Amino acid sequence: MSISLTINGKPCALELDANTPLLYAIRNDLDFKGTRFGCGSGHCGACTVLIDGKAVQSCDATLDSAKNKNIKTIEFLIHEKIGRVVQQSFLDEQAAQCGYCINGIMVSIISLLTENNDPDQNTIMQCLNRHLCRCGTHTRIIKATQRAIHELKKIN
């Protein structure tokens, strides 16, 4: 079955089963390796992408649920203004230790800051609630997010 979608601004059609997890298509067929396989059951957030602007765990989404939708991965998002600022803030605050989960976390933060340019700490923590970081850099992640908010205010 042919599934049409737009990924990172480019239309594509995939000849895969409609029930194939979106994550598998992104990594294996489209070769976007920044979207990571973590738990495979929607609990860790490593596979988070934006679908029509909303943060979604791609291991839980089927190709059929993504057809005719606009999907953005971390590879694309870090080239947009908010993504660049978030990425630099995470680097400045050394918010990633092993780095495995951080791409999904950054995608969720980019989504949050796109919708709300001044979230409070509770809102940031709620946004991060769906993400597991085994390294324990949560404090740095929150600090990096707050830094990104501050930097975005300066350039807007």
d(CA 15, CA 34): 22
Region 77-155: CATH code: 1.10.150.120
Give residue 22's pLDDT: 97
pLDDT of amino acid 121: 94
| The CATH classification of domain 2-73, taken from the options 3.30.379.10, 3.10.20.30, 3.40.50.300, 3.40.50.2000 | 3.10.20.30
Cβ(134)–Cβ(102) under 8 Å?
no
- Model confidence at 109: pLDDT above 90: yes
Distance of CA 32 to the CA centre of its chain: 12
At 95, is the pLDDT very low, low, confident or very high (cuts 50, 70, 90)? very high
The residues spanned by each domain of the chain are 2-73, 77-155
* Spatial CA neighbour of 32 closest among 23, 43, 45: 23
pLDDT in tens, 34-85: 999 998 888 899 999 999 999 999 999 999 999 999 999 999 999 999 999 9
Do 2-73 and 77-155 fold alike per CATH? Answer: no
pLDDT score, position 152:
97
The percent of residues in the chain predicted with pLDDT above 70, rounded, is 100
| Per-residue pLDDT tens digits for 16-25 | 999 999 999 9
pTM for this one?
0.94
